[in-house]
Amino acid sequence: MTTHRIWIKNPLALFTATDQSAPGGLVIENGVITELLVAGATPSLFIDETFDAREHVVLPGLVNAHHHFYQTLTRAWGPVVNEPLFSWLLTLYPIWARLTPRALELASKVALAELLLSGCTTTADHHYLFPAGLEEAIDIQVGAVRELGMRAMLTRDSMNLSKVDGGPPGKSVVQTAEVILADSERLIHRYHERGDGAQIQIALAPCSPFSVTTDLMRSCAELAERYDVRLHTHLGETLDEQPFCAQRFGMRTVDYLQSVGWLGPRTWLAHGIHFNQVEMHRLGAAGVGICHCPSSNMRLASGICHTLELENKGAIIGLGVDGAASNDASNMMLEARQALFIQRLRYGAKKITPEKVLGWATRGSARLLGRRDIGELAVGKQADLALFKLDELRFSGSHDPIAALLLCGADRADRVMVGGQWKVCDGQIPGLDIAGLIADHKLAARELVNG
């Protein structure tokens, strides 16, 4: 194989998400970081390409640990603008039940492109709608991820309890446990990649403990153990969950997780807001991960995640944009900014720094997905980078480049690299017809909500 070395030279600032610094930049060889350079140093080996980063703040590629791509089709939809979670869901389920393969493809491309332009290089998606004709939803998402050149953890979500069974959705979007488990195995065998540099990975993800049977929760845990894949679900998002769980299962949510084999380091939870101190200790001791989704939690008035208590007890904290119908964006830099501000309301300015939050958005989220090869700028890690300029009016007069990204509201990367390949150049995705994508996506969104 031909060796190709790139030097990202002398950045304006560089955030490694570790205790290392590299004012002289970094060297990439065949998609992997091979050197971090001190000030004034030059690469030890011949360089094929040099990128002068003197105007750029360089970050590890951001990692989005929770999303629902399809929801880009129902952003800011009038009937749910002022609704809390459960009425929001019940109103939207009949709309989402009309999702088609073409609409999902467009929705996924829009979500991925928006993420990529915000500096995100790896994303998770939590897809739980499989109406008739959309049985290969995850396959469609795989195609979109490969087209954009990003990395993704695509979760094979599931619901097998409809309204008539005591669950929230209509009958048309649920499947039987047998169908769900068979398709989960198919997807793992067909798409799940292992080892450093993996592009596509699969996880198992019942939508919530309240939309699937106890048997299916257990079966997913057993399947995940057998194939060594991860587990994901929504939990602790609203106060309503605890009395609902007590009524249905006779126990609190964390007790239920343990009863079905989910209380362990294979699991990461979306939201994780409403746990008591004992439950936070148990989650941390078990190594469960929590994906903080501040914009969605604020939009739906769900609450504020206890990030530092969870982290101090051993839980891993990452960030996610959540669905684009409850955010209503797919922008990881804006999500990090919201996390900075809302967590300062809980813990104060000194404990919640820009560096800490960027660490959640990179290394933390990567660990939620079970990845040790991304989320950091260090020797041996994948060359996934996000480069930002501070040349817009909003940054004029700013002094600390790392802090300025969040405090001044950076929302679009100038350059993004995935595995040593440039995927965003000068703020654009080469080869992607954004105008055409927007036109097609808008039409699909109108058709979906109008029936």
Q: CATH code at 146?
A: 3.20.20.140
- Residues 290, 339: Cα–Cα separation, whole Å: 13
The answer to whether residue 434 is domain-embedded is no
User: How sure is the predictor about 195, in pLDDT bands with cuts at 50, 70 and 90?
Assistant: very high
Instruction: Specify whether 179 is located in the same domain as 112.
Output: yes
Residue 156 shares a structural domain with residue 213: yes
52, 70: one domain? no
The pLDDT of residue 105 is: 98
| Mean pLDDT of the 10-26 span | 96
Same domain, 216 and 285: yes
Residue 210 pLDDT grade (very low, low, confident, very high; cuts 50, 70, 90):
confident
The SS3 assignment for 262 reads coil
> Are the CB atoms for 402 and 355 separated by under 8 Å?
yes
Same domain, 98 and 221: yes
In the chain, the amino acid numbered 8 is I
CA dist 430 and 235 (Å) reads 38
Domain shared by 37 and 19, yes or no: yes
Burial class of 344 by CB neighbour count within 10 A (0 to 12, 13 to 18, 19+):
middle
The reported pLDDT for the residue numbered 106 is: 98
Three-class SS state of 357: helix
pLDDT band at 31 (very low <50, low <70, confident <90, very high): very high
DSSP, residue by residue, 286-351: HT-EEEE-HHHHHHTT-----HHHHHHTT-EEEE----TTSS----HHHHHHHHHHHHHHHH-TTT
Residues 252 and 385 grouped into a single domain? no
**What is the dihedral sign for C-alpha 271, 277, 278, 280?**
positive
Residue 256 · residue 284 · CB < 8 Å: no
> Does residue 197 form part of some domain?
yes
Within a domain: residue 130?
yes
Domain identity same for 88 and 171: yes
Residue 338 belongs to domain spanning? 62-368
Instruction: Please give the full DSSP string across 374-418, using - where no structure is assigned.
Output: SSS-STTSB--EEEEE--SGGGTT---HHHHHHHTT----SEEEE
Q: Which two tokens stand for residue 327?
A: 């955010």
Largest CA distance in the chain: 68
Final residue of a structural domain among 368, 392, 411: 368
Mean per-residue pLDDT of the chain: 96
Same domain? For 34 and 130 the reply is no
* Confidence band of 315 (pLDDT split at 50, 70, 90): very high
CA separation, residue 121 to residues 241, 262, 299 (Å): 33, 28, 25
Quick one: 126 and 27 in the same domain?
Answer: no
CATH number, residue 399: 2.30.40.10
Shared domain check, 162 and 291: yes
Place of tokens 């007069």: 397
**Structural domain contains residue 446:** no
pLDDT at 1 over 80: no
74, with CB counted inside 10 A (0-12, 13-18, 19+), is buried
- Residue 40: strand, helix, or coil: coil
Q: What is the pLDDT of residues 328-387, one digit of tens each?
A: 999 999 999 999 999 999 999 999 999 999 999 999 999 999 999 999 999 999 999 999
CA separation (Å) from 242 to 43, 103, 232, 386?
56, 35, 19, 40
Look at residues 346, 368, 390 and tell me which one is the last residue of a structural domain. 368
Residue 245 domain flag? yes
Q: 398-419 pLDDT, tens per residue?
A: 999 999 999 999 999 999 999 9
Give the pLDDT score at 305: 98
DSSP 360: I
Whether 17 is in a domain gets the answer yes
Q: How far, in Å, are 70, 188, 189, 220 from residue 192 at the CA level?
A: 21, 5, 6, 16
Structure tokens at 193: 């990649």
| Residue at 271: amino acid letter | H
Q: How many domains does the structure of the chain reveal?
A: 2
Same-domain pairing of 195 and 344: yes
Question: Is residue 432, in this structure, part of any structural domain at all?
Answer: no
DSSP 43-101: -SS--SEEEE-TTEEEEEPEEE----GGGGGGTT-GGGTT--HHHHHHHHHHHHTT--H
The rounded distance, in Å, linking the Cα atoms of 139 and 69 is 13
| 324 belongs to a structural domain | yes
